[in-house]
Amino acid sequence: MYVCGPTVYDEPHMGHVRSAYVFEIIRNYLKYSGYKVIMVRNVTDVDDKIIQKAYEANPMNLIEETKNISSKYFDLYKDELSTFNLECPDREPFATQNIEEMIQLIKTLIKKCFAYAVGGDVYFEVNKFLDYGKLSKQKIDQMLEGVRKDTNENKKNPLDFALWKNAKEGEPSWPSPWGMGRPGWHIECSAMSIKYLGETFDIHGGGLDLKFPHHENEIAQSEAATGKPFAKYWIHHGMITRDGHKMSKSFHNYIMYRELPLDRNNRAEQFKFLLLGTHYAAPLDYTEERLKMEVQNWRRFKNFFDFVKQIDGDISPAVDSNIKKFKQAFTDAMDDDFNTPLALTVMHEMLHYANKSKDPAIMLEIAKLLKDLSRQIFGLFLDKQEELVDISTAVEKECQKIRAEEAIRNRKTAKEAKDYQTADLIRKKLLDEYQIELIDLKGGKTIWREKL
Ligand SMILES: [Zn+2]
């Protein structure tokens, strides 16, 4: 699978994380289902926006400054993803390292009469590609509306798009049959996907905002050049909105991940929960209430995993056909276009079922299944987070444990003396004063957990 990666000219935002996470889950689930996956995600490191930023910073040395900017923001992007424990794609090619492949592809398009060179630029002639518009299913009028800002008089048709751009003075540029210049954005992805995955490959992904014109143009260029179908499946993820509105710096409603009210030690995991709660193809509407709810949901699972650690390991495995059914329901949800909200619902049902059963064998079995699924597919509950727990939280947790264990011992003694009133009082006091809940399991053991 090929995924359109970032243009590295600004700080990474929540949309970058959503994109990386969506495709990470898809990759993980395909692997889990037995497929062999090669994932390629490119980096656009030369582009109008990067050059514009370089021009503002250091107009006298555009070439050097463009490199500085793209490497600075690429590093920030990678740092951001690593806080989420998101794995690297198998290949992460940079546009500037694949210029020769792009030139070859453009030469083929000119030879096949799908492209024309004019004044040092090369354009793709949209009218020659009869299937143009088949992905976004737009009418010519709508497409014209989408490109109306671009009024370049060298073009035969406003919809024609640049494959190669003549270099302006001082800009980064490469030699080509049409003079010094640089590639257009769309041709980058065609050249790199064909190079690493072949002329036809399985999945092409990206944000919904890339469907037109970027992906439409990728199809046109690639299929015109190779004469073969390009990607078999297109997967577009939705954008992130805030309280129902588009999030944008110019609307003053922009929020960065680091500003979100999340638990200090588990920020990344809780944010992932927020992402999972919306189907990848839908817009994710961020509201504070939504976030609070997902944080609470995350805590329920974490609490459960901590809680079952108190159950001794040498218990014979549970014989319960419901566990198999839960697993099937989870994979059914994921098989249905990676329906993560439904898969999460199944996980909640499993949690509920385990808690209700009070059967240590069932609890252990469900905890294992939940952890397996959430680790392998969602990259959650990796336990890496726990290392980050700060001293005061660690001390607090230890006190809680001592308090709970002492109460369990005292309650047991009271019960043995048939003093049920005291036993009950101990349980109630613990709950009211310290929000610690005692659970009597089948078989006689009592364990505790923090009441959420
Ligand atoms: Zn792309």
Question: For residue 81, how far is its CA from the centre of ligand 1 (angstroms)?
Answer: 19
pLDDT of residue 389: 63
Q: What is the mean pLDDT of residues 432-442?
A: 94
State the pTM of this model. Answer: 0.93
Does residue 388 register a pLDDT over 80? no
Report pLDDT digits (tens) over 343-361: 999 999 999 999 999 999 9
Question: For residue 183, how far is its CA from the centre of ligand 1 (angstroms)?
Answer: 13
Torsion over CA: 355, 361, 366, 368 (sign): positive
Does residue 387 register a pLDDT over 60? no
Q: How does residue 244 score in pLDDT terms, banded at 50, 70 and 90?
A: confident
Does residue 92 register a pLDDT over 70? yes
Does residue 400 register a pLDDT over 60? yes
pLDDT of residue 206: 98
Q: How does residue 85 score in pLDDT terms, banded at 50, 70 and 90?
A: very high
Maximum distance among all Cα pairs of the chain, rounded to whole angstroms:
98
Tokens of 3: 């995924």
pLDDT of residue 148: 64
Question: For residue 214, how far is its CA from the centre of ligand 1 (angstroms)?
Answer: 7
Tokens of 5: 């990666």
Question: For residue 304, how far is its CA from the centre of ligand 1 (angstroms)?
Answer: 42
| CATH of span 245-385 | 1.20.120.640
pLDDT of residue 251: 76
pLDDT of residue 72: 97
pLDDT of residue 220: 97
Question: For residue 384, how far is its CA from the centre of ligand 1 (angstroms)?
Answer: 33
Question: For residue 3, how far is its CA from the centre of ligand 1 (angstroms)?
Answer: 7
For 249-258, 276-285, 289-298, which range has the lowest pLDDT when averaged over its residues?
Answer: 249-258
Please give all residues whose CB falls under 5 A of ion ligand 1, grouped by chain where several chains appear: 4, 189
Report pLDDT digits (tens) over 66-81: 999 999 999 999 999 9
Reported CATH class of domain 2-237: alpha beta
Question: For residue 271, how far is its CA from the centre of ligand 1 (angstroms)?
Answer: 26
Question: For residue 66, how far is its CA from the centre of ligand 1 (angstroms)?
Answer: 20
Which has more pLDDT, 396 or 227?
227
For 125-129, 140-144, 180-184, 287-291, which range has the lowest pLDDT when averaged over its residues?
Answer: 140-144
**Dihedral over alpha carbons 245, 248, 249, 250 (to 10 degrees):** -80
Question: For residue 431, how far is its CA from the centre of ligand 1 (angstroms)?
Answer: 55
pLDDT of residue 245: 87
Mean pLDDT of the chain: 93
Report pLDDT digits (tens) over 106-162: 999 999 999 999 999 999 999 999 999 999 998 777 788 767 666 677 899 999 999
Question: For residue 318, how far is its CA from the centre of ligand 1 (angstroms)?
Answer: 49
Question: For residue 163, how far is its CA from the centre of ligand 1 (angstroms)?
Answer: 13
Q: What is the mean pLDDT of residues 269-282?
A: 97
Question: For residue 205, how far is its CA from the centre of ligand 1 (angstroms)?
Answer: 8
Q: How does residue 24 score in pLDDT terms, banded at 50, 70 and 90?
A: very high
Question: For residue 204, how far is its CA from the centre of ligand 1 (angstroms)?
Answer: 9
pLDDT of residue 248: 74
How many CB atoms sit inside 10 A of residue 336's CB? 11
Question: For residue 317, how far is its CA from the centre of ligand 1 (angstroms)?
Answer: 49
Q: Which residues touch 277 (CB under 8 Å, ≥6 apart)?
A: 290, 294, 297, 340, 341, 344
Question: For residue 186, how far is its CA from the centre of ligand 1 (angstroms)?
Answer: 6
Which has more pLDDT, 291 or 255?
291
Question: For residue 211, how far is its CA from the centre of ligand 1 (angstroms)?
Answer: 10
Which has more pLDDT, 283 or 146?
283
For 183, list phi and psi in degrees, rounded to 5: -75, 155
Q: What is the mean pLDDT of residues 168-176?
A: 96
Question: For residue 148, how far is its CA from the centre of ligand 1 (angstroms)?
Answer: 21
The b/e string for 213-236 (b: 16+ C-beta within 10 A; e otherwise) is bbbbbbbbbbbbbbeeebbeebbb
For 30-34, 130-134, 221-225, 409-413, which range has the lowest pLDDT when averaged over its residues?
Answer: 130-134
Report pLDDT digits (tens) over 185-210: 999 999 999 999 999 999 999 999 99
